[in-house]
């Protein structure tokens, strides 16, 4: 390919073609509510007992405060680089790059986390259904990557519609379980382990449990909302980005809060509200599967495993989409190889950036396979630094929102992103201190090194510093008057 052909290819803009539901599907898909409930649902019970649902209610309120800063900035700026442009326009281009780099760090590892979710729940489905009880995880991971890659390169509308369908199917399976559990409990069917039946006590803290325990449990619930901001990466592909992206972010937060509270409350009721039920729920590695097996039968439990695998595919697809848009935005602004800003003339997606994102994930998967690491360990080894980097991005974006509001809005309005910064900072602190056992205690150091490296790049690389001073990130193609 000649230099002129490369220039023509990389100067081609993304196409505005997404409506509200397609935009919202990105945030909901990356959140992966079915996958979150399949893995994290029992964590709050270890701290709050029967009141575990309150952790997700508190987390939803906290995420709403954090989300306000994103909504405010998404209402003013629209860019494929999302927070790279938000913070770059509101604070400085250098801080925009560091914030975008933090988000990129998350979405370089999150797709592999999702693929590990695919392998974990697909293996569980094959085992419970008797189709292939002893299948190795690596071929399933390759199948997951193939499915994600195929859907990612078809175009942004097929991608977002696939996200919507995959998550809708998996969510409906859980809705069937929730309704069945509640109806059968109301009909006198005993709980899994304890006693209690239907009771409003599921929304009250056990005696001796105070606000500090609720705040601690809420930090776990907060992480189930990770990815709510993903719709912001569609700023150059949504038809009305400054109206539809804020609405999509709010929808994902509200939906997540309602879904998580309902699921967690049903788990507490289904396992039982006394000590025996709480202990059984807290120790469960697959609470939804146990509920399904007890109240319905093995067929629904197998279907839920398959639904969680589909949810993981959706999350991986969304993660690849977000990561590729950040790579594209950096490359377009001269902060990476120019070829990574290439846009397909047919699908109008950044295909080279998508390929790079997929390649990184595949290489990471192969490396863990060669190291002999179990998929569940890979899941948490990558999810932990990914979440820490995401939390740093949340803090910086809300600080940028405060600055922007001070320039354009009411001083009182800054209270929401100020509190949002504090909420994200508190969750970040609780995930760093006290230090976790090895190897998890070293992950904050890895994230710190990743971010310090980005800051040093903006200072020490002359070409990058010069580019960052020439204008705001994503200038030109990132804006649209509505």
Distance of CA 62 to the CA centre of its chain: 16
Q: Specify whether the CB–CB gap between 238 and 18 falls below 8 A.
A: yes
Structural contact between residues 295 and 214, judged by C-beta atoms closer than 8 angstroms = no
SS3 letters across the chain: CCHHHHHHHHCCCCCCCECHHHHHHHHHHHHCHHHHHHHHCCCCHHHHHHHHHHHHHHHHHHHHHHHHHHHHHHCCCCCCCCHHHHHHHHCCHHHHHHHHHHHHHHHHHHHHHHHHHHHHHHHHHHHHHCCCCCCCHHHHHHHHHHHHHHHHCCCHHHHHHHHHHHHHHHHHHHHHHHHHHHHHHHCCCCCCCCCCCCCHHHHCCCCCCCHHHHHHHHHHHHHHHCCCCHHHHHCCCECCHHHHHHHHHHHHHHHHHHHHHHHHHHHHHHHCCCHHHHHHHHHCCCHHHHHHHHHCCHHHHHHHHHHHHHHHHHHHHHHHHHHHHHHHHHHHCCCCCHHHHCCCCCCCCCHHHHHHHHHHHHHHHHHHHHHCCCHHHHHHHHHHHHHHHHHHHHHHHHHHHHHHHHHHCCCHHHHHHHHHHHHHHHHHHHHHCCCCCCCHHHHHHHHHHHHHHHHHHHHHCHHHHHHHHHCCCCCCCCCCCC
**CA nearest 480: which of 218, 228, 234, 146?**
234
Chain position carrying tokens 């209610």: 57
Instruction: Provide the pLDDT for residue 6.
Output: 43
Q: For the ranges 82-91, 99-108, 302-311, 463-472, which has the lowest average pLDDT?
A: 463-472
Q: Higher-confidence residue: 119 or 50?
A: 119
Q: Which two tokens stand for residue 348?
A: 């109008």
- CA R_g for the chain: 22
Q: What is the pLDDT of residue 443?
A: 96
Q: What is the rounded average pLDDT of the residues 454-470? A: 73
State the pLDDT confidence band at 30, using cuts at 50, 70 and 90. Answer: very high
Give the CA angle between residues 138, 140, 141 to the nearest 5°: 65
Q: Is the pLDDT of residue 352 over 50?
A: yes
Contact 27, 227 (CB under 8 A): yes
Distance CA 271, CA 290 (A): 9
Q: Say what the pLDDT of residue 121 is.
A: 93
Nearest to 330 by CA among 80, 156, 91: 80
Whether this prediction's pTM lies above 0.85 is answered by: yes
Q: Is it the case that residue 276 has pLDDT exceeding 60? A: yes
403 vs 209, which has greater pLDDT? 403
Mean pLDDT of 289-311: 90
Is the pLDDT confidence value at 462 over 70?
A: no
Joined together, the tokens standing for residue 223 give 């992480």
* pLDDT at residue 7, rounded to an integer: 44
pLDDT at 132: 83
Position 365 pLDDT exceeds 70:
yes
Mean pLDDT of 396-401: 97
Average pLDDT over residues 316-330: 96
Establish how many alpha carbons lie within 13 A of residue 319's alpha carbon, considering only the half-sphere containing its beta carbon.
Answer: 31
> Does the pLDDT value for residue 185 go beyond 60?
yes
Q: What is the pLDDT of residue 468?
A: 62
Q: Report domain extents, the chain.
A: 11-470
Mean pLDDT in the chain? 89
What's the average model confidence in pLDDT over 413-432? 94
Q: How confident is the model at residue 477 (pLDDT cuts 50, 70, 90)?
A: very low
End-to-end CA distance of the chain: 37
pLDDT average, residue stretch 200-229: 88
pLDDT for 405 equals 94
Class of domain 11-470: mainly alpha
Q: Are 160 and 274 in contact (CB under 8 A)?
A: no
User: Range with the lowest mean pLDDT among 205-209, 256-260, 304-308?
Assistant: 205-209
Confidence of residue 134 (pLDDT cuts 50, 70, 90): confident
Q: How far apart are CA 239 and CA 230, in angstroms?
A: 16
Using pLDDT thresholds of 50, 70 and 90, give the confidence band for residue 4.
Answer: very low
**pLDDT, average across residues 352-377:** 96
In terms of pLDDT, which residue wins out, 40 or 175?
A: 175
Cβ–Cβ < 8 Å for 16, 480: yes
Q: Which tokens is 290 given?
A: 């146990």
Task: Assess whether pLDDT exceeds 80 at residue 203.
Answer: yes
Please give the share of the chain, as a percent, with pLDDT higher than 90: 69
Question: 386 is written with which tokens?
Answer: 């990914």
How many other CB atoms are found less than 10 A from the CB of residue 460? 9
Does residue 56 surpass a pLDDT of 70?
yes
* Mean pLDDT score, 13-29: 93
pLDDT value at position 482? Answer: 53
Percent of the chain past pLDDT 70, that is, above it, reads 93
pLDDT, position 3: 42
Check pLDDT > 60 for residue 162. yes
* Cβ contact 232:242 at 8 Å: no
pLDDT digits (tens, 9 = 90+) for 69-124: 999 999 999 999 999 999 999 998 999 999 999 999 999 999 999 999 999 999 99
Contact 69, 417 (CB under 8 A): yes
């Amino acid at each position: 390919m000649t230099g002129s052909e490369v220039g023509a290819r990389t100067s081609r803009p993304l196409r505005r073609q997404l409506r509200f539901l397609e935009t919202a599907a990105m945030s909901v898909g990356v959140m992966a509510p079915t996958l979150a409930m399949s893995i994290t649902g029992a964590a709050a019970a270890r701290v709050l007992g029967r009141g575990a649902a309150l952790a997700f209610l508190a987390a939803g309120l906290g995420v709403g405060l954090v989300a306000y800063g994103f909504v405010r900035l998404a209402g003013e700026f629209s860019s494929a680089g999302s927070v790279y442009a938000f913070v770059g326009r509101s604070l400085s281009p250098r801080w925009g790059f560091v914030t975008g780099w933090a988000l990129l760090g998350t979405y370089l590892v999150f797709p592999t986390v999702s693929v590990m979710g695919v392998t974990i729940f697909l293996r569980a489905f094959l085992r419970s259904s008797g189709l292939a009880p002893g299948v190795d995880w690596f071929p399933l991971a390759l199948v997951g990557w193939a499915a994600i890659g195929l859907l990612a390169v078809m175009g942004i509308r097929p991608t977002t519609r696939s996200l919507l369908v995959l998550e809708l199917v998996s969510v409906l399976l859980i809705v069937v379980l929730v309704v069945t559990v509640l109806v059968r409990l109301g009909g006198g069917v005993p709980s899994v382990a304890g006693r209690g039946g239907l009771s409003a006590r599921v929304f009250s803290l056990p005696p001796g449990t105070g606000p500090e325990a609720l705040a601690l449990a809420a930090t776990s619930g907060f992480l189930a909302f990770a990815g709510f901001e993903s719709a912001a990466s569609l700023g150059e592909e949504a038809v009305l980005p400054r109206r539809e992206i804020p609405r999509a972010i709010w929808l994902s937060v509200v939906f997540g809060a309602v879904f998580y509270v309902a699921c967690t409350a049903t788990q507490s009721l289904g396992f039982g509200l006394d000590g025996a039920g709480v202990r059984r729920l807290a120790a469960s590695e697959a609470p939804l599967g146990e509920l399904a097996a007890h109240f319905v039968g093995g067929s629904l439990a197998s279907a839920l495993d398959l639904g969680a695998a589909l949810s993981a595919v959706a999350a991986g697809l969304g993660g690849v989409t977000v990561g590729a848009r950040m790579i594209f935005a950096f490359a377009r602004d001269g902060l990476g190889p120019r070829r990574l800003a290439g846009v397909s003339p047919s699908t109008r997606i950044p295909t080279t950036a998508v390929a790079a994102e997929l390649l990184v994930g595949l290489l990471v998967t192969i490396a863990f396979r060669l190291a002999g690491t179990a998929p569940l360990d890979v899941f948490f080894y990558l999810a932990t630094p990914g979440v820490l980097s995401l939390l740093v991005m949340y803090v910086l974006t809300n600080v940028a929102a405060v600055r922007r509001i001070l320039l354009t809005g009411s001083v009182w309005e800054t209270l929401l992103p100020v509190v949002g910064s504090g909420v994200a900072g508190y969750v970040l602190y609780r995930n760093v201190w006290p230090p976790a056992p090895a190897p998890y205690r070293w992950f904050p150091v890895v994230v710190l090194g990743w971010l310090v490296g980005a800051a040093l790049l903006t200072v020490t690389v002359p070409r990058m510093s010069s580019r960052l001073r020439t204008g705001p990130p994503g200038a030109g193609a990132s804006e649209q008057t509505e």
